[in-house]
Structure 1
């Protein structure tokens, strides 16, 4: 369904340190940087990108928006979360753990990146 997700950042170096660590915790590779200075993370044909806003205005996060990343296990979600916090992210919502949802049990770990974007590591429990 998705081809790419792009978030804004005011400090590309801080964003690179954060996302390189975050994705390394789940087996990802460091970003490549294109000729416009955007960070590009590739996996299974999809892209996650980070850029300074093209309009020159400061980057800001979406109120109510969340970007979710699939995790293979609760342990992987915990490693992802810990790597994000260690690389400058901030934990948000409740502590990582199991939540009951109308569509089953989920293991969720929430972070905000250095620019304030809300991220979620999600594992669907059996």
Structure 2
């Protein structure tokens, strides 16, 4: 449905440490850094990019925005979450686990990256 996802960062090296760790935990590769300093992650056919804002203003997280990353297993979600916390992210909301709704059962794990962007590892049960 979309071609890519991009988040802003105030510290690209700090973001690289965080995102390299979270992508490695789920079998991804470290970032490719382009000539503009942007980090590019390619995983499962999608692109995830990290950049300093082009308008020169500080990066801020989107209010109400969550970026969901599909997981193959609950163990993969747990590894992603643990790697993110170890690499400077913040665990948020409920601990990783199963969430039931009237329409589906999901396994969710939430983090904020070092710049405050809200991320969610999601495994459909």
Q: TM-score range by the shorter chain?
A: over 0.9
Deviation at 1:46, TM superposition (A): 2.1
Deviation at 1:54, TM superposition (A): 0.2
The residue number in structure 1 matching 2:32 is 32
Q: Is 1:51 aligned to residue 51 of structure 2?
A: yes
Deviation at 1:27, TM superposition (A): 0.2
Q: Would you say the 8 A contact 1:3–1:45 is kept in 2?
A: no
Give, in whole Å, the separation in 2 of the partners of 1:107 and 1:26.
15
TM-score normalised by length of structure 2? 0.97
Greater mean deviation of Cα atoms: 34-43 or 99-108: 99-108
The residue number in structure 1 matching 2:111 is 111
Report the 3-state secondary structure (helix = DSSP H, G, I; strand = E; otherwise coil) of the residue aligned with 2:18.
helix
Q: Which runs of 5+ in 1 are unaligned?
A: none
TM-score normalised by length of structure 1? 0.97
Give, in whole Å, the separation in 2 of the partners of 1:46 and 1:74.
20
Give, in whole Å, the separation in 2 of the partners of 1:120 and 1:8.
17
Q: Which runs of 5+ in 2 are unaligned?
A: none
Matches within 5 A, 1:45-84: 45-84=45-84
Deviation at 1:2, TM superposition (A): 1.5
The residue number in structure 2 matching 1:9 is 9
Give, in whole Å, the separation in 1 of the partners of 2:23 and 2:95.
20
Report the 3-state secondary structure (helix = DSSP H, G, I; strand = E; otherwise coil) of the residue aligned with 1:95.
coil
Point out 4+ residue stretches in structure 1 off by more than 3 angstroms.
none
CA deviation vs aligned residue, 1:67-105 (integer Å, no higher than 9, x gap): 000011111100000000000000011110000123211
Deviation at 1:109, TM superposition (A): 0.1
Deviation at 1:63, TM superposition (A): 1.1
The residue number in structure 1 matching 2:22 is 22
Deviation at 1:43, TM superposition (A): 2.2
